[in-house]
Structure 1
């Protein structure tokens, strides 16, 4: 055991935050602290590192073990470059290296005992330097910086000129390079793109020390942790396993608790009916028996009804009008800002009922695409076409659609003047704004609170095409799960940008990756994307697309009348090649459609298994099983065919 928290309690004024918290962390164990916003997660970390005193209880760290802590907000203020700031962590190795170089120079000019002494000192220092990975510390610094999303051109930037998110990444890099025995991270993924988060996952998985994380990134937690420490209503409970294991166990425990509560309520009701009946007999013995039962009821330890957190906030998204099947068509879209070239020639369509996630690294232009679709900024080139009866509802990650000088009540009232006061209050109450909170100004709200107001406006819009930019930012896990359920039950169409892989995995029916100034399409959720992304790499697809475009352009230009320097045979060959490419692309599209249809049928069969009527029909179950087996085999063949066609397209 490397860390132990024993009976920790903490209050702020009359608000109890943590009550009698106890847990421990083993060497090399990876654990997460979870809970809703305001539950006390960050407070607990600060108590462990000594930034806040506990009201009672104690924290014990094994003798000689070091703690490294990354808070959510960093205020690094130094004139050093990013690279030099990280090198400062290795100052002991730098000093040792300088001493070794100095000894090498001294040994050239001495002999005898003095040389022996210097040689002995040199050998000892050299061994220590090597044992501490001294010969690779510069590579280590470079690797961590690049892993966290800094390019070579960023290394010379001065720390005091960086944004808050960049400073947090620098602080995280310094912490990782310092290699403490216990790493403690508070929301480490907030300022990282997907590639950097994946890199951090691998780093922490193989880290030769203990890790304690506060995070709302459930996919991240699933990959790393083997223990969940939950803070719920001031109480702390420890669960073994990752987040998915915790969620399953939590559901089982809640169902058990609910069953216990309902059984007790049934017993109480029965006892009360018996007592009433006994008293109605109006006999001495029956009255005594009634009184005895009443005393038993009074002594009964009541089971509290388990609260369902998802009932606290209600999101129901219902479009008023059903759109046409073609919701959005984007053709040849291009955009750059000065010398910053984002993308060109983007073509994609979104159909009614799809939930499409747009993913990609920071700075590739994801939010720009959403703003172009919404008419907030112009495209350099290209065409955006909305389908019949399409009504857009837009969720902006910066919440520019909210007026900071309005109260919550005024924000809703001005946007929807037909609503009366009661309807506005009920809407805000559904998003946890009650009483005088409705008169708070937008400018005074936290990021999570602004997100809830934006979602409230979205709910009232009755839009049939939701465009969401980072909708889970600043939301705690419970709020994310509420939003996921709302989107999965939504009958309209959704197009969103998110870096929350668990959210994408749960909600997306298709993924569009923006990479290499173009897009790659994946028919499935995030797990499917991870499985398939290496089959047809973005670079390979980009090269293939460029080759196709060049070939098509070439064939279009080289007609018999204009290609004076080409023979008729060469023109004919070019034409045939263009036709083959077109046929190949059509066959690839047909295969993708077939995969989608087959996957939908398999999902439908899986749902039929859960039908009670079918569950008791052995013949029907056998029929479904045989069909599913056949479809699974067909799907494997389709996957292979898709891979072959994709590779053939690249070869062309």
Structure 2
């Protein structure tokens, strides 16, 4: 069915902290609204409110028709131990909940209705309609075809394969399958592009463009936004404001730059005019005071005419001062645009490594039933290598082999001397566990004092309310920023970035690209971010596919 979701005067935040307020948004059929803003601005919070998962601090959300199927897909795939691929897809598509509600309503039919309560038959009818609308009736039959189309060979039935047994790339493709199998009337997508390869991104773009219902999505993939969205909702944390821009993502970038330039020009004009009036008022006061003092010195007590003239002159000066002060008071106050927080960092440099950083000689690597190789590759000091390929093709396996973390089953691998590795892996695995962020970071950077650790983390937007929290409670974006801070804290001559843009906001991605421009060591960059591939200079390009590595 076609549906419309309307939010009026919406306010949301965490606890007593309000992130946005007075927000109006309409999602009508055909709308694709991209929600952008710095990490922590409230993007995920907004989607949770629109989905009805959380309650707003103020405002109201209406859905027409009231029984429309709203689907919310959070940014992390939430792989539950013991959950099969089929069960995961059923949960992500809303079919599992619809089935549970229908079964509960069917069981209630055998119970006499309470006085004044809902008729169990009506409840069952509603639950049945929702079950049918969710696509649960034929989901099991549709799953294998979609998985096969995505090139995901599980080797067994989806009901038997556990999600936790899949690689990161395979899990990302199952997440995409869940989205393609969904039948949402309104779709709320939080970072749907994370971990998707280029083929997956193109399929996602086609899916979003083909939806009949409205879509609100959070994404930091600039090319995906440019190809998909019809409007942009910006949550501006620095200005404590929000604004909707029409015309797509690239038009938003141009209009935002114009709006910010005009705001700065208006403030500068106001500040300059006010400063001029204040200066002139100060000069008038000085002249008035000087005139009175001169009159007192030069005018004899009995010279009434000269004393009267001096008095009148000082009064005129005082009147001019009052007029100037009145003009200052009548100025329309213009608030100075607050400067946005920006991630500004450099990658710490270590002494140069040996001329050969890593080699693979006829190396064959196996991961379960997957085989990569045989490979004969060499990475030289200072080389910048971009690595691309489909999900599950073996990019992460290749990195582990080059870094000496996975021994080949055939052939050999060697790591050069004086290699100082800095890494951000897909799972952000350095920052996991129940320990606080500060304690975890101090362990990883023992040369820094606790005070230096806190100062460094604050530069990356991780302040007092972050450093004492368990690492597992941090958002993916916050863990990624902690990883970037670690790159600055430790000397690095081999930098390994595996999907570094996942969970980073747009400003931080651009800052990362600038930092990579000035980095002079060896770089291994795995990314599906099409604009990062264009922005970051690389010397070589490896394509990983079908168990082999080819140089493009």
Shared fold (TM-score greater than 0.5)? yes
Does residue 247 of the first structure (1) align with residue 253 of the second (2)? Answer: yes
Change (3 A) 1:12 1:148: same
Change (3 A) 1:419 1:59: closer
Does residue 58 of the first structure (1) align with residue 64 of the second (2)? Answer: no
1:391-418 deviations in Å (ceiling 9; x for gaps): 4323334444458576544555555555
Query: How far apart, CA to CA, are the structure 2 residues paired with 1:290 and 1:466?
Result: 64
- TM-superposed CA distance for 1:279, in Å, is 1.0
Query: How far apart, CA to CA, are the structure 2 residues paired with 1:17 and 1:250?
Result: 20
Per chain length, whose mean CA-contact separation is higher, i.e. which structure has more relative contact order (CA < 8 Å, sep 6+)? 2
Query: How far apart, CA to CA, are the structure 2 residues paired with 1:79 and 1:201?
Result: 27
Secondary structure of 2:531's counterpart equals helix
The aligned residue for residue 278 of structure 2 is 272
- TM-superposed CA distance for 1:278, in Å, is 1.2
Does residue 512 of the first structure (1) align with residue 542 of the second (2)? Answer: yes
Does residue 317 of the first structure (1) align with residue 351 of the second (2)? Answer: no
Change (3 A) 1:149 1:242: farther
Segments of 5+ residues of structure 2 without an aligned counterpart are 99-134, 289-313
Change (3 A) 1:65 1:168: farther
Query: How far apart, CA to CA, are the structure 2 residues paired with 1:161 and 1:495?
Result: 28
Q: Alignment partner for residue 431 of structure 1, among 456, 460, 465?
A: 460
The aligned residue for residue 30 of structure 1 is 32
The aligned residue for residue 303 of structure 1 is 334
Secondary structure of 1:69's counterpart equals strand
- TM-superposed CA distance for 1:384, in Å, is 4.0
Q: Alignment partner for residue 449 of structure 1, among 474, 478, 495?
A: 478
Contact persistence 2:84–2:160 (CA under 8 A)? yes
Tell me the TM-score normalised to structure 1 length: 0.63
- TM-superposed CA distance for 1:273, in Å, is 1.5
Query: How far apart, CA to CA, are the structure 2 residues paired with 1:83 and 1:450?
Result: 25
Tell me the TM-score normalised to structure 2 length: 0.73
Equivalences for 1:52-131 in 2 at 5 Å?
52-63=54-65, 66-72=68-74, 81=86
1:479-522 deviations in Å (ceiling 9; x for gaps): 22222221123233321223333333332534321101112333
Alignment root-mean-square deviation, CA: 4.0
1:150-175 deviations in Å (ceiling 9; x for gaps): 43645433487667988887676456
Does residue 293 of the first structure (1) align with residue 324 of the second (2)? Answer: yes
- TM-superposed CA distance for 1:8, in Å, is 1.8
Change (3 A) 1:268 1:332: farther
Equivalences for 1:187-226 in 2 at 5 Å?
187-190=191-194, 192-226=196-230
Q: Alignment partner for residue 49 of structure 1, among 48, 51, 56?
A: 51
Query: How far apart, CA to CA, are the structure 1 residues paired with 2:79 and 2:408?
Result: 37
Change (3 A) 1:407 1:67: closer
Secondary structure of 1:302's counterpart equals coil
Contact persistence 1:239–1:246 (CA under 8 A)? yes
- TM-superposed CA distance for 1:281, in Å, is 0.5
1:190-240 deviations in Å (ceiling 9; x for gaps): 354442232222222233443222222222222211211112235321112
Change (3 A) 1:308 1:372: farther
Secondary structure of 1:459's counterpart equals helix
Query: How far apart, CA to CA, are the structure 1 residues paired with 2:143 and 2:164?
Result: 18
1:284-312 deviations in Å (ceiling 9; x for gaps): 33333333333433443433333443x44
The aligned residue for residue 643 of structure 1 is none
The alignment covers a number of residue pairs equal to 476
Segments of 5+ residues of structure 1 without an aligned counterpart are 93-132, 523-652
Query: How far apart, CA to CA, are the structure 2 residues paired with 1:256 and 1:475?
Result: 28
Query: How far apart, CA to CA, are the structure 2 residues paired with 1:324 and 1:171?
Result: 41
The structure with the greater share of residues assigned to helix is: 1
Secondary structure of 1:185's counterpart equals strand
- TM-superposed CA distance for 1:16, in Å, is 1.2
